[in-house]
């Protein structure tokens, strides 16, 4: 039996209002800075492809590894060069963090999976990297973050709260961007060492290495590199950069949500930005509820029609003894085909042999099963973060899948339907 769901969607206009926020942590104060031991003496050795770092230089790195951390980060991927980066990281046995573009992730989903399976961290670098769109208003930036978030979740099953702004936040973010993203559950990371691999086209590997090893080294280094198209030279430079930090006794880590973000200060020109800001109504509807998506807790497994899907803690909630779920998320994961009509603001979802029309404004659900008369139901519908939520039991039963069992433990929750 096939099901077609038609969902009426009401959009929220981007009404301007003033949002009071606090300034972000300054770039200069993001990490304590100490001079790296014997870094200058290592420069010439690293710049020569035939010379290895001497053991004496390595021995001079007196600080314990745990006291000095380095986070290698890669922006703008995935691309064909990402595979080469992953090979190098694997050989050196070091983790890294990849801030991915949504449109690139769609092109190279197998590389996204490889990053995830290798244990590296994945972050959100917006969808298309176009400054004129991203920094025209917060609403546009938010929509690209959400679009990329769903692309990455569909590939890996993981929803990442890690965000890096294209070009960095300096000169692009005003204080409201920082505040609203924090409210939405995101962690924004800049960097405190730029490898310079994107300063111009075709920066040679020798220059990239020199930029890194000649920089002032602190106790916690967040190194910016790129693995997008045109960054073959970064791939060539990477082994020497890894060798440099290993010689100084740094511990390599991937960024996690628990890490304190390195963030640039708000640029003076952005403190009086005239960009349109979202209304408080929009913030309450979209930003505030979003933080729940990143909360830890037991996942909910749903099985219906022989298909099983997993909802993370923030992707469902318990209301009046019933599980409430986002309609589109659940239907797509159970194998439904979803088609959106922008003009009419409706969604058509095909699943098995029936058609279900859901009217969000009137909270009416109409089921038209093949060969049967239409049946109308009143249904409890909520709207959160631009999504329609409704009771899981209602959704399954009107689709012809009666609940067979519901189980609960500290590790997981599970609903089985016919």
CATH of the domain at 387: 3.30.457.10
| Cβ–Cβ < 8 Å for 169, 178 | yes
Spatial separation of the C-alpha atoms in residues 101 and 78, rounded to whole Å: 7
Write phi, then psi, for 234 (nearest 5 degrees).
Answer: -65, -40
For residues 246 and 320, membership in a common domain is answered with no
Are 231 and 358 found together in one domain? no
> In this structure, are 127 and 177 located in the same domain?
yes
CA–CA separation, 186 and 318 (whole Å): 24
Residue 310's pLDDT is what?
A: 92
- What pLDDT score was predicted for residue 341? 64
pLDDT value at residue 8: 44
In a domain, 200, yes or no: yes
**Single residue among 206, 235, 270 that ends a domain in this structure:** 270
- Interacting residues of 7 by C-beta distance below 8 A, sequence separation 6+: 327, 328, 346, 347, 349, 358, 360, 388
Nearest residue to 218 via CA among 64, 33, 71, 27: 33
Pairing of β 346-359 and β 337-341: antiparallel
Q: Rounded to an integer, what distance in angstroms lies between the CA atom of residue 303 and that of residue 416?
A: 5
- Is residue 156 domain-shared with residue 254, that is, in the same domain? yes
Which parts of the chain have pLDDT scores under 50? 1, 3-65
Task: Please write the tens of the pLDDT for every residue from 137-156.
Answer: 999 999 999 999 999 998 99
Tokens of 402: 């009666």
Q: Are residue 7 and residue 132 in the same domain, yes or no? A: no
Structural domain including 229 reads 39-270
The answer to whether the bond into 136 is cis (omega within 30° of 0) is no
On whether the CB atoms of residues 43 and 210 are closer than 8 A, the answer is yes
**One domain, residues 190 and 296:** no
Going 62 to 64 to 67 to 71, the CA torsion angle's sign is positive
Closest to 69 measured CA to CA, from 291, 260, 226, 269: 260
In the chain, how many domains are there?
Answer: 2
Query: Final residue of a domain: which of 270, 303, 320?
Result: 270
DSSP string, 37-54: TTHHHHHHHHHSTT-PPP
SS (H, E, C) 222-265: EEEEECCCCCHHHHHHHHHHHHHHHHCCCEECCCCCCCCCCCCC
Residues 6+ apart with CB under 8 A from 38: 57, 60, 61, 248
Query: 350: helix, coil or strand?
Result: strand
278 within domain boundaries: no
Instruction: State whether 116 and 224 are in the same domain.
Output: yes
Residue 351 falls within a domain, yes or no? Answer: yes
221 and 323 housed in the same domain: no
**Predicted pLDDT of residue 64:** 42
| CA atoms in the 13 A half-sphere facing the CB of 100 | 37
CATH of residue 52: 3.20.20.370
Do 129 and 191 share a structural domain?
Answer: yes
Q: Does residue 163 lie in a domain region? A: yes
**Domain shared by 8 and 90, yes or no:** no
Answer yes or no: are the C-beta atoms of 115 and 86 closer than 8 Å. Answer: yes
Final residue of a structural domain among 270, 305, 333: 270
Number of Cβ atoms within 10 Å of the Cβ of 299: 14
**What is the biggest distance separating any 2 CA atoms in the chain, rounded to whole angstroms?**
84
On whether both 261 and 310 belong to a single domain, the answer is no
Q: Is the dihedral of CA 298, 303, 304, 309 positive or negative?
A: positive
Q: In Å, how far from its chain's centre is CA 143?
A: 12
- Report residue 141: phi and psi, to 5°: -60, -45
Q: What does residue 350 show for φ and ψ, rounded to 5 degrees?
A: -100, 125
Q: What are phi and psi of 39, to 5 degrees?
A: -65, -40
In this structure, is residue 310 part of a structural domain? yes
Quick check: is 202 in a domain?
A: yes
* CB contact at 8 A, 7 and 360: yes
189 & 48 share domain: yes
Positions annotated as catalytic residues are: 75, 226
Q: Quick one: which H or E segment has residue 378?
A: strand 375-378
| Residue 34 within a domain | no
pLDDT tens-place string over residues 332-362: 888 877 776 666 666 677 777 777 888 887 8
* Single pTM value for the model: 0.69
The answer to whether residue 362 is domain-embedded is yes
Q: Which residues contact 144 (CB under 8 A, 6 or more apart)?
A: 102, 126, 127, 128, 133, 134
């Amino acid at each position: 039996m096939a099901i077609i769901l038609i969902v009426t969607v009401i959009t929220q206009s981007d009404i301007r209002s003033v949002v009071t926020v606090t300034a972000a942590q300054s770039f200069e104060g993001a990490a304590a800075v100490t001079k790296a031991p014997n870094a200058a003496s290592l420069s010439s050795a690293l710049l020569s492809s035939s010379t290895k770092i001497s053991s004496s230089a390595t021995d001079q790195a007196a600080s314990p590894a745990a006291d000095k951390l380095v986070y290698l980060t890669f922006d703008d991927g995935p691309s064909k060069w990402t595979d080469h980066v992953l090979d190098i990281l694997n050989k050196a046995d070091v983790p890294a963090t990849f801030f991915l573009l949504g449109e690139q992730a769609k092109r190279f989903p197998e590389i996204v999976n490889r990053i995830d399976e290798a244990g590296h961290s994945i972050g959100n670098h917006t969808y298309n990297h176009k400054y004129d769109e991203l920094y025209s208003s917060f609403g546009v930036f938010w929509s690209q973050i959400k679009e990329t978030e769903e692309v990455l979740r569909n590939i890996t099953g993981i929803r990442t709260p890690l965000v890096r702004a294209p070009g960095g936040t300096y000169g692009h973010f005003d204080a409201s961007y920082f505040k609203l993203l924090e409210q939405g559950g995101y962690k924004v990371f800049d960097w405190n060492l730029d490898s310079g691999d994107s300063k111009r086209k075709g920066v040679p590997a020798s220059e990239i290495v020199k930029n890194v090893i000649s920089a002032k080294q602190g106790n916690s280094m967040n190194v910016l590199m790129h693995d997008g198209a045109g960054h073959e030279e970064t791939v060539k430079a990477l082994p020497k950069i890894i060798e440099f930090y290993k010689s100084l006794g740094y511990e390599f880590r991937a960024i996690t949500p628990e890490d304190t973000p390195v963030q640039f200060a708000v640029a003076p020109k952005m403190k009086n930005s005239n960009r349109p800001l979202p209304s408080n109504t929009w913030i309450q509807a979209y930003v505030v509820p979003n933080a729940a998506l990143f909360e830890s807790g037991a996942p909910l497994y749903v099985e219906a029609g022989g298909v099983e899907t997993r909802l993370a803690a923030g992707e469902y909630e318990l209301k009046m003894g019933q599980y409430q779920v986002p309609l589109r998320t659940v239907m797509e994961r159970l194998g439904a085909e979803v088609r959106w009509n922008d003009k009419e603001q409706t969604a058509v979802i095909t699943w098995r042999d029936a058609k279900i029309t859901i009217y969000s404004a009137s909270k009416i659900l109409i089921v038209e099963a093949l060969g049967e008369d239409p049946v109308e139901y009143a249904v409890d519908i909520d709207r959160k973060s631009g999504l329609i939520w409704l009771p899981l039991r209602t959704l399954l039963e009107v689709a012809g899948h009666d609940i067979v069992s519901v189980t609960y433990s500290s590790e997981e929750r599970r609903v089985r339907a016919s």
